[in-house]
Chains A and B, each alone.
Chain A
Amino acid sequence: MSILGLLSQLMAIVLALALAPLLSGWVNQWRARLQNKSAPGLLQPYRALRKLFNKESVLAEHASPLFRMAPYIVFGCMLLASAIVPTLSTDLPLSPAADAIALVGLFALARVFISLAAMDVGTAFGSLGARREMLVGFLAEPALLMVLFCASMISRSTSLTTIVETLAHRELAIYPSLLVAGVAFTMVSLAENARVPVDNPETHLELTMIHEALILEYSGRHLALLEWAASLKLFAYSCVGLALFFPWGVAQADAPMALLLALFVLVLKLAVGGFALACVETLSAKMRIFRVPEFLATAFLLAVIGLLVNILLGVS
C-alpha cells in the first residue's frame, strides 16, 4: 500500500468524477456538429448537474425507500467501477478487490437496482423500461464476460491490472482474437450505455426509450446523481475498452513522473474515442426493440468466436 499507490488511486477517482461529464459533453457536441446543428457548450453537462442539484426533488406518493436509495447505490457502483479500471497507472490498491468478473457483477448490480427502482413506482413506463433494460442486460452481460475472458486468456489472469501490464509491456504482437473481441466490445458498450443503434439517450418517446424510461420518475438531486452515474458508466466502459485494446501509455508502479504523461495520453485517447462514438451514432439508425436481441446475440457469438480463435491459435 505505497503512498504513491494511494495517491494514484485518489487521482483516478477524482479524475473519473471530473472527466465523465466532460466526455459525454464532448460526444454530444460532436454529434450535434456532425448533424450540422449548433453544438451545446462543452461544459453543458456540468451546468445541467448544478441546476438539478438545486431543484426540488419530486417523489411519487407511494415510492418505497428502495426508490430513494437506488440513485445512491447506482452512483456508488459506477464510481467504484471507474476506480477499479486502471486508467492512469496500474498500481491501484483497490484493484485486487475486484477483477474482471467482479466488474461485470458490479455493472449487473447497478442495472438490477435501477430496474427495481423503475418498477417500484408502478406506472406502465417504469415497468416497461425495466423489462427492456433487463432484456438488454441479460444478453450484454455474458458477451462482456466473454470479451474479458478473451483478454484474460492471453494474460492468463482475470485481474485488470495484470491484463494491462502484460498487453502494454509485451512486444507488439497482433492478437487476432483481440480484434474480434474488440468489435464485440464496441457493440456491447453501445447497448449498455444506451447509445443510438440500441437506444437514443436524449429521447423521451415512450415506445423507444430504455434508459430514459428508468429515470423517468426521478427529479432534482436523484436525477442529477443518475445522470452523473450514466456518464460515469460511459467513462468506465471507455476506460475498460482502452485498457483491453489500447493499453499503451499507462504508468507503471515504479514511475511516478509518468502519471502526468499518462494523464495526457488518457485525455487524448478519450477524445479520439468520443469522436468515434459520435460518428457511429450519426451513421447508424435506431433499431426496433425486437432487433436488439439479434444484435446482442451477434456480439455474444463474436466474443465466443474470439475465445475459440484464441485457443485455436494457441497463444504461447
Chain B
Amino acid sequence: MDGFAHPTTWVHLDWILAVVVAWLVMGVLGVVALRRFQFVANGLFPISACFSLGLLGLALSAMGAGPEVAVLPIGLPQLPFHLRLDSLSSFFLMVIGGVSAGVSAFAAGYFRKGEGTPPGLICLEYHIFLASIVLVVVADDAYAFMVVWETMAFSSFFLVMANHRIPEIRNAGYLYMLVAHIGALGLLLCFGVLQANTGDYTFANMRAQHLSPFWASVAFVLAVFGFGAKAGLLPLHAWLPEAHPAAPSPFSALMSGVMLKIALYGILRVSFDLLQTRIWWWGVLLMAIGLATSLFGVVFSTVQVEMKRLLAYSSIENVGLMCTGFGLSLLFSAYGMTAFAALAMTAALYHVVSHAFFKSLLFCSTGAVLHATGERSLGKLGGLIRTMPWVAWPSLIGALSCAGLPPFGGFVAEWLLLQSFLFTTGLPSSFLNMLVPVVAALIALVAALSGYTMVKYFGVIFLGQPRDEKLSFSHDADHWERIGMLWLAVGCVVLGLFPNQVIGWIDPVTHLLVSDGLAQAVAASSWLLVPVSIERASYSPAIFLLGVMACFALAYLLVRRLYKGGTRRAPPWDCGYPWQNARMQDTAEGFGHPIRQIFEPLFRMQRELPTPFDEQPLYRVTVEDPLWHWLYLPVAAVVERCSKLIGLLQQGRIAVYLMYSFVTLIVVLLVVKQ
C-alpha cells in the first residue's frame, strides 16, 4: 500500500480496500478456527455482514464523487494492479454491499454441525469470493481484472463443491469451472485486442485507443462471449441450473444475486466505457441474445420440479431481460439519442439492483426450507406457511417482486423497460421500428410467465397441505436467518416504493456511460416517477400503495360495521369425497403442465406412462435442456473423435517414432531450403 495517508484523509477507495482486507482476515481466522463451529458461525459471519453494510454506505457516499485511482504494488513488474472507483463501480459496489450483508447474516444461522466441508474452510472460500468480487468491480487494468475475475470463479468453484460427496455436485462443479475458464480465455483475447498492440494493459490506455470498426467489433463479440459465459446467456447457460442448486443456499444466493451482475458489469465496462466506437448492430445482437435467454429461462423455470433449479432458470430469465435493456440502450446511443439511451440504461440497472435483492431473498428462503425439511424437490413440500411464518412472509415479498407486481421493485424495473421500448419508434431505420412490438410483446410475455412461476413456487412450497408427514414438525428459521431475510425483504420494498431516490443514485452511472440521465426529469416531482414528461407517463408507487391500503381499510371498516355474523372453523369443502388427502393437491409437475403443452417444441421430454396392469402405477416426466443435445454433447463428441484420431499418433512402435522424426527433418530441410 504505497503512500498510505493517515486514515482520516483516506479516500473512498482506500476504505473499500480496507473492507476487502478485513474480509480476507475473516477468511484466515475461519481457517485458523477450522473446527470451532460456534465461533465461525456466530462470530465471523455477522461481523462480515457489518463490513458489507459499511461497504454499502461507502458505495452510496462515493456514488456522486469523482473517480478515484490507486495503484497496488502487487502484479506484474511493469503492470502493478491499477484500481479505479467511478460511479459505475460504486453502483455495483452498492449492490454487492447490500446483498452480501443479508446473505452473510443468513449464512451465520445456516451452518449445522458436521455437514460437508468444515465451516472454517467455507468461511475462507466465501470471503475470498467476496473480496475478489469487490476487486473485479474496481480493477482498472486488464491483468488485475483477469486475476480477480478468475479468482472469483476459482473460489466460487470450491463453494459449489462444498459437499462434494455427491457425484452430481462434482459434475456440476466441473461444468461450472470449465465454462468459466473458457469464458475467461475469451476475455483474455478481448483484452488482447483492446490493448491494440501498445503493450500497455491499463484501461486508461484502452480508452485512448481508436480501434478500427472491425477490431472494435471483434473485441465486442469476444467480450459478449466471455462475459455471457459467466452471466449465463443462452448458448453458454447450461452450467447455471447445475451449479447454483449444488452450492449451499447462501452462496448460491450470492452467486445468483451478485456474480451474474458482475458479468453484466463486465459487458457494460467494455462496450460502453472501453470501446469508444458504438455500432448499431451491437445493440441488436445483445437484445437478440437477451430476449432468447429470457424466454428460454422463464419457460424452463415454469416446468422445474426442484426449487433451486427453478430459481436458477429464473435468474437466467432476469439476466436476459437486463441484457435486452443494455442492448436497447446501446442501440439508442449508437444513434445519438442519449435521453432514451439513459432511460433504457436506468431500466436495466434498476432491474440489476432489484433482481440482486429479490433473488438472493428467494434463494435464502429455499435454504431455510431445505434446512428445516431436508427436502429440495417441490413434490414433497407444502403447507410450510403454518410452521415457518418467518420464512414464508419475506419470501412472499420476494416472490411478488420477482413476478414484477406493482408495489415492489421488480415492477418499477419492468415499467421503465416497457416505457423505453415505446420510444424505439423514433429510430431512423424502419426495420428497427418494427422491433418495438415484437420485443415489447416478448417482454410482456416473459413478465407474465415469471408471475406464473412465482405463484407455483410460493403456492407449492408454503401454501396448501404438507405433502409429507415429516414436514409438520419443521422448525422455523433461527434468528440470524430471519435478520438476513428481513434485510433483503426491506431492500425489495424500499426499491419498490422509492424509485426516485434509487434513480437519483443510478443517474451518475448513466451520465458516465451514455452521458445523459433521468435525474432532472425525476427530481422535478419528488413522489412521482416521471421518466420523460408528465403527460407521457408517470407512476407513483407510494400513492399506488396508499390507494390500495386505503381501499383495504375502507372495505375492512365497511365490513366490520355492517357485518354481524361471526366466523367458524370447519373442514374444507370436499365436494362429497371424504378421503381427500394432501397428495391430491396440484403437484409441481401439474402446475407446469400447461406450459409444457404450449411450449412443447422447446423441451426435450421423456415421459414414463404406467401400463394398466401396474399395481404401483408411476407417472414420471423428465424435462431436459435441449441445448445439451444440440450443442454440448456434439462438441464433446467431436473432441473425443479428434483425440482418438490423434491417439493413433502414439502407437507404440519405435520404428514409427523414428519415422516421425525422419519425416520432420526432411520437411524442415525442404522448408529451409527456399
B438–A122 CB distance below 8 A: no
Main SS at interface, chain A: helix
Say yes or no: is B654 at the interface (Cβ < 8 Å to chain A): no
Report if A108-B463 is in contact (Cβ < 8 Å); known contacts: A138-B448, A149-B440, A304-B437.
no
What 8 pairs across the A-B complex have the smallest Cβ distances? A127-B586, A76-B551, A122-B464, A142-B444, A122-B465, A97-B543, A307-B437, A119-B459
Within 8 A of A (CB), among B395-427: 396, 400, 403-407, 411, 414-415, 418-419, 422, 425
B residues whose Cβ falls under 8 Å from a Cβ of A: 382-383, 385-386, 392, 396, 400, 403-407, 411, 414-415, 418-419, 422, 425, 433-434, 436-438, 440-441, 444-445, 447-449, 451-452, 454-456, 458-460, 463-465, 528, 534-540, 543-544, 547-552, 554-556, 559, 562-575, 580, 582, 584-586, 590-591, 593-594, 597-598
Interface centre among B386, B425, B438, B448 (most CB of A within 10 A): B448
The contact of B568 among A56, A94, A159, by CB within 8 Å, is A56
The contact of B452 among A62, A72, A134, A153, by CB within 8 Å, is A134
B555–A225 CB distance below 8 A: yes
List the B side residues contacting A111 at CB < 8 Å: 451
A123–B552 CB distance below 8 A: no
The contact of A217 among B444, B566, B573, B593, by CB within 8 Å, is B573
B551–A119 CB distance below 8 A: no
Minimal beta-carbon separation of A304 from chain B (angstroms)? 5
A122–B463 CB distance below 8 A: yes
Report if A146-B436 is in contact (Cβ < 8 Å); known contacts: A121-B572, A131-B586, A158-B422.
no
Minimal beta-carbon separation of B424 from chain A (angstroms)? 10
B570–A105 CB distance below 8 A: no
A122–B572 CB distance below 8 A: yes
CA distance A177 to B547 in the complex (A): 33
Minimal beta-carbon separation of A218 from chain B (angstroms)? 10
B422–A311 CB distance below 8 A: no
Say yes or no: is A280 at the interface (Cβ < 8 Å to chain B): no
Minimal beta-carbon separation of A280 from chain B (angstroms)? 25
Query: Residue on B with the closest CB to A57?
Result: B567
Number of A positions contacting B (CB below 8 A): 79
B437–A112 CB distance below 8 A: no
Query: Residue on B with the closest CB to A97?
Result: B543
A60–B571 CB distance below 8 A: yes
Minimal beta-carbon separation of A161 from chain B (angstroms)? 9
Report if A159-B448 is in contact (Cβ < 8 Å); known contacts: A56-B566, A127-B464.
no
Report if A99-B539 is in contact (Cβ < 8 Å); known contacts: A119-B459, A141-B448, A146-B437.
yes
Minimal beta-carbon separation of B185 from chain A (angstroms)? 39
Say yes or no: is A203 at the interface (Cβ < 8 Å to chain B): no
A residues whose Cβ falls under 8 Å from a Cβ of B: 53-62, 64, 66, 72-73, 75-77, 79-80, 83, 94, 96-99, 101-102, 105-106, 108-109, 111-112, 115-116, 119-128, 130-131, 134-135, 137-139, 141-142, 145-146, 149, 152-153, 156-159, 162, 206, 216-217, 220-221, 224-225, 290, 293, 300, 303-304, 307-308, 311
Minimal beta-carbon separation of B346 from chain A (angstroms)? 16
List the B side residues contacting A308 at CB < 8 Å: 434, 437
A112-B403, A131-B591 known; 4 new pairs, CB 8 Å cut-off, are: A98-B540, A127-B459, A145-B418, A304-B441
CA distance A155 to B418 in the complex (A): 16
B385–A58 CB distance below 8 A: no
CA distance A149 to B425 in the complex (A): 12
A120–B451 CB distance below 8 A: no
Interface centre among B437, B452, B565 (most CB of A within 10 A): B437
The contact of B464 among A54, A120, A138, by CB within 8 Å, is A120
The contact of B449 among A105, A124, A126, A138, by CB within 8 Å, is A138
